Amino acid sequence: MALDESNILRVLFQARARLSASVWLVVRDAQTAEDIFQNVAVRALNHELHFDHEAQLLSWVHVAARREALDWLRRHRHRWVALDEGVLEHLDAGWAPEAEKPAGPRLHALEECLRRVSETGRRLLRLRYFEGRSCAEVAQAMGLSIEAVYQRLTRLHRQLKTCIELRLSSPPTDSPAP
Amino acid sequence: MNCPDQRRFDLLLRYLDGNLPSSELGALNRLLREDPEAAAWLREIAQQAVGLGDIARREEWVERAGEAGADAAAGGTKQAEKVGPAGLPGARSHPPAKRLQLGWMLSAAVLALLAGLVARELWLGQRAESSIATLSAASGSVVRQEIAGARQVIHTGQELGAGSLATEGEGSTAEVRFADGTTLGLAGNTEIAISEDGRGKQVRLRQGVVTVTVAEQPDDRPLRVQTATAEIEVIGTIFTVGAEAEATRVEVGRGKVQVRRLVDGREIEVGAHRRTFASLDASEAFIAEARSPVPWSWRQRFDRAGIEGWRGSWRPAGPEGPASWGAQPYLAGRQADGTPIMHRGLVGRASISTPGQHFVAISSDSVLTLRYRTAAPQKVMVFLSTHEPDGTFGGNFEALIPAIPDGAPDYDVRGDGWREVVLPLASFRAASPGHLSMEAGSEVFLLLISTREAEADLQVAEAGIHPAASLPKTTPQ
């Protein structure tokens, strides 16, 4: 029996974080990634499409989102390079082992880990990933060289990754970290 | 998963930053194919980036919710820190004891909110609950544009949420009005994306020309207009922005704006009646200069190919008449079901790369002169778009030239099919809501000459707008 709308929505929102991240890798703009996710979600609910099971839906959604992202890139970012589609497929395949994991705990861990980041680091992350500024713009805003921004981003991503993995491997706690 | 060294990390970060030359793309593709650690790191960075965006958006949502009912929600607890629950600068903090529980509650709330938004707004094509503006006026075809090309025709009065909006065709215009009175006037073939959040109103101009009339904004939440090459920040003023892929022109009617050229991050202030031009060439002058005066008389001869700002097909002079430009199909509007309405026309828009961004200023006795020909007698429509002298949208106006000569003295037929028409601009009727007539001093930035019939074969040899007093007293022959 084909998945109904409520099941399609449930699967889509469970996969939202990873799907948006997959699209973000192509378009490198959070708002656009969100737009593409929403657009693909709308198409998935089109009554002309039928999905017999979740894996089929997820496979279709990943391919559709990747194509829309590449199409967007071709139309809007002439000067930006795009990865080979084969490489993007390879990257997408890497999300598969995590498909069953809920995204909430990871997001919560990221939120907790962010509190351990310095004020300067948080500002850098906000400028780069929430406001969508280029590293050159971040460098100018913070009075740094662009190389320094790349180095700080490298350190911050490593710090956050280590912290997230520690928190996800620890038993849940009801009290806030000291 | 071990960490790749800094060189490999640099490659990933420069790709994500749009700062990787195509000569290094092959190396990156190879790295991602052959090195599982590098591929895993790229996925990790993407997940962190998207997650950080979600957290920041959520904190702003909390901040707004907190502002709406601060006293009741806080229960007397101070909420004045500048750092949010997860510490992203710009959002407020909550008491530590409530953080964890609130985080989970908000995760669920955000997912529910997203689901609600998508289900109610995108599924049904409405955005009433998250409306941030209204389409207050429209002519021609105005669409909400989905990223993948799916388009929804929208009409005057429709509420707009955050998202993209486009005018289709040169003759289409739209006015978007925010609740505080700020308006965006879109010229033809213009595409914008609008949003409003804790940082203020944001407009992304992807292409075309938009005139922005900004009601006074809070000092810490200026309106921002972004293009591919510049960012304009403003508290309250009137200005016009024209953007193409590699250049942006800003003209200020009233007040002042701060313009940042993205290629090198330089900023300048542009005051009233001044303009600037920001391109991708950092060696180009980036200065605020006096706006070029718009002439009172203008004439365009279509005697060569490649006239900047004009779209049509050039035909050299021959036995049938002078050199001319022929009409081409264009989108004139859409029926209620979205079916396109195609007309044929010749369209000119003052280019952003030329001074003034306007063809001509209108005097009280201005007339339009036109030399044209059709294969058989056909009605010809002339359509003008104008700006007021202060830069606000001045309205669209149109006039119909009847197919059959009616014996008017300025309606001349030579016998070869070429006609020379003189039309007082005062006879044009308003074609956009709220604009009754062309005001003296208004400036024309778009001219469209068209027919509805595909077989009309409209050709135009010359067009102009002049004060009537400057024309020869005799009818042109």
8 Å CB contact of B88 and A114: yes
Q: Which of B62, B116, B111, B52 is nearest to B84 (CA)?
A: B62
Tokens of B421: 């028409």
Average pLDDT over residues B97-105: 30
Q: Enumerate the residues of chain A whose CB falls inside 8 A of the CB of residue B45.
A: 157
State pLDDT tens for residues A119-138: 899 999 988 887 778 898 89
Helix (H, G, I), strand (E, B) or coil at B201: strand
Q: Identify whether the C-beta of residue B339 lies closer than 8 Å to the C-beta of residue B347.
A: no
**DSSP annotation of A130:** I
**A46 contact B CB<8A:** no
What is the pLDDT, as a whole number, of residue B145?
Answer: 58
Residue whose entry in the numeric block shows the structure tokens 């609910």: A45
Residue whose entry in the numeric block shows the structure tokens 């060696």: B283
State pLDDT tens for residues B179-194: 888 999 888 888 898 9
Q: Enumerate the residues of chain A whose CB falls inside 8 A of the CB of residue B19.
A: 134-136, 146
State pLDDT tens for residues B265-312: 889 999 888 888 888 788 888 998 887 788 899 999 999 988 888 888
Is residue B407 very low, low, confident or very high in pLDDT (cuts 50, 70, 90)? low
Q: Identify whether the C-beta of residue A105 lies closer than 8 Å to the C-beta of residue A168.
A: yes
Give the distance from residue A44's alpha carbon to the nearest chain B alpha carbon, in angstroms: 11
Alpha-carbon distance of B255 to B201, in angstroms, equals 18
**B87 contact A CB<8A:** yes
Selecting from A45, A126, A158 the residue whose C-beta is nearest the C-beta of B123 gives: A45
Query: At residue B317, does pLDDT exceed 50?
Result: yes
Q: Identify whether the C-beta of residue B225 lies closer than 8 Å to the C-beta of residue B201.
A: no
Q: Identify whether the C-beta of residue B61 lies closer than 8 Å to the C-beta of residue B86.
A: no
Alpha-carbon distance of B213 to B218, in angstroms, equals 15
How many other CB atoms are there within 10 angstroms of residue B253's CB atom? 20
**B282 contact A CB<8A:** no
Q: What is the mean pLDDT of chain A?
A: 81
Q: Which residues contact B80 (CB under 8 A, 6 or more apart)?
A: B92
Query: At residue B459, does pLDDT exceed 90?
Result: yes
Alpha-carbon distance of B474 to B256, in angstroms, equals 47
Query: Which residue on chain A is closest to B118 by alpha carbon?
Result: A38
What is the pLDDT, as a whole number, of residue B110?
Answer: 34
Give the distance from residue A138's alpha carbon to the nearest chain B alpha carbon, in angstroms: 10
Question: Is A143 exposed, middle or buried, given 0-12, 13-18 or 19+ CB atoms closer than 10 A?
Answer: exposed
Is residue A47 very low, low, confident or very high in pLDDT (cuts 50, 70, 90)? low
Is residue B64 very low, low, confident or very high in pLDDT (cuts 50, 70, 90)? very low
**B124 contact A CB<8A:** no
Interface probe, candidates B25, B32, B47, B233, chain A, greatest A C-beta count within 10 A: B47
Helix (H, G, I), strand (E, B) or coil at B218: coil
What is the pLDDT, as a whole number, of residue B410?
Answer: 47
Average pLDDT over residues B48-61: 76
**A135 contact B CB<8A:** yes
Average pLDDT over residues B411-435: 76
Based on its alpha-carbon atoms, the radius of gyration of chain B, rounded to whole angstroms, reads 27
Query: At residue B92, does pLDDT exceed 50?
Result: no
CA geometry: angle at A22 spanning A17 and A27, to 5°? 115
pLDDT > 90 fraction of chain A, expressed in percent and rounded: 13
What is the pLDDT, as a whole number, of residue B153?
Answer: 82
CA A100 vs CA A14, B43, B365: distances in Å: 9, 17, 73
CA geometry: angle at B454 spanning B448 and B459, to 5°? 50
**B86 contact A CB<8A:** yes
Is residue A77 very low, low, confident or very high in pLDDT (cuts 50, 70, 90)? low
Average pLDDT over residues A58-69: 87
Q: Enumerate the residues of chain B whose CB falls inside 8 A of the CB of residue A130.
A: 52-53, 56-57, 88
Q: Identify whether the C-beta of residue B96 lies closer than 8 Å to the C-beta of residue B78.
A: no
Question: At B260, phi and psi to the nearest 5?
Answer: -115, 125
Q: Enumerate the residues of chain A whose CB falls inside 8 A of the CB of residue B146.
A: 35, 39, 42
8 Å CB contact of A39 and B15: no
Range name among A41-50, A157-166, B67-76, B448-457 with the lowest pLDDT average: B67-76
State the Cα torsion B43-B48-B54-B56 to the nearest 10°. Answer: -150
Q: Enumerate the residues of chain B whose CB falls inside 8 A of the CB of residue A108.
A: 103-104, 107
Measured in Å, how far apart are chain A's first and last C-alpha atoms? 50
Interface probe, candidates B48, B60, B145, B194, chain A, greatest A C-beta count within 10 A: B48
Q: Enumerate the residues of chain A whose CB falls inside 8 A of the CB of residue B199.
A: 131
Query: At residue B104, does pLDDT exceed 70?
Result: no
What is the pLDDT, as a whole number, of residue B424?
Answer: 92
Q: Enumerate the residues of chain B whose CB falls inside 8 A of the CB of residue A135.
A: 13, 17, 19
Q: Which residues contact B452 (CB under 8 A, 6 or more apart)?
A: B343, B344, B379, B381
State pLDDT tens for residues B352-394: 555 556 889 999 899 999 999 888 778 899 999 888 877 777 8
Tokens of B147: 């990223």
Selecting from B9, B19, B40 the residue whose C-beta is nearest the C-beta of A154 gives: B9
Between A178 and B255, residue with greater pLDDT: B255
**B362 contact A CB<8A:** no
What is the pLDDT, as a whole number, of residue B433?
Answer: 63
Q: Give the pTM.
A: 0.50
State pLDDT tens for residues B116-136: 433 333 333 333 346 889 998
Query: At residue B81, does pLDDT exceed 70?
Result: no
Scanning A87-126 for CB atoms below 8 A from B yields 87, 90-91, 94-95, 104, 106-108, 110-112, 114-115, 117, 119, 122-123, 125-126
Work out whether strand B393-401 and strand B380-387 pair parallel, antiparallel, or are unpaired: antiparallel
**B102 contact A CB<8A:** no
ipTM (interface predicted TM): 0.90
Q: Enumerate the residues of chain A whose CB falls inside 8 A of the CB of residue B50.
A: 17, 20-21, 24, 30, 33
Work out whether strand B223-226 and strand B200-213 pair parallel, antiparallel, or are unpaired: parallel
Alpha-carbon distance of B324 to A113, in angstroms, equals 68
CA A44 vs CA A14, A62, A68, B151: distances in Å: 14, 11, 13, 17
Q: Enumerate the residues of chain A whose CB falls inside 8 A of the CB of residue B43.
A: 21, 25, 91, 94-95
Q: Which of B118, B462, B452 is nearest to A39 (CA)?
A: B118
Q: Identify whether the C-beta of residue B246 lies closer than 8 Å to the C-beta of residue B261.
A: no
* Dihedral sign (CA A143, A144, A145, A146): negative
8 Å CB contact of A161 and B19: no
Residue whose entry in the numeric block shows the structure tokens 């194919």: B33
Residue whose entry in the numeric block shows the structure tokens 């990747």: A66
* Dihedral sign (CA B14, B18, B20, B25): positive
8 Å CB contact of B265 and A140: yes
Query: At residue A175, does pLDDT exceed 80?
Result: no
What is the pLDDT, as a whole number, of residue B121?
Answer: 35
Q: Can you list the positions of beta strands (E) in B316-392?
A: 324-326, 328-334, 340-349, 360-361, 366-373, 380-387
Residue whose entry in the numeric block shows the structure tokens 């004891």: B97
What is the pLDDT, as a whole number, of residue B90?
Answer: 46
What is the pLDDT, as a whole number, of residue B2?
Answer: 47
Based on its alpha-carbon atoms, the radius of gyration of chain A, rounded to whole angstroms, reads 18
Q: Which of B460, B385, B329 is nearest to B190 (CA)?
A: B385
Range name among A112-121, B56-65, B195-204, B331-340 with the lowest pLDDT average: B56-65
Question: At B39, phi and psi to the nearest 5?
Answer: -65, -40
Measured in Å, how far apart are chain B's first and last C-alpha atoms? 83
Query: At residue B99, does pLDDT exceed 50?
Result: no
Average pLDDT over residues B24-48: 90
Is residue B178 very low, low, confident or very high in pLDDT (cuts 50, 70, 90)? very high
Selecting from A33, A39, A137 the residue whose C-beta is nearest the C-beta of B146 gives: A39
What is the pLDDT, as a whole number, of residue B358?
Answer: 83
What is the pLDDT, as a whole number, of residue A156?
Answer: 93
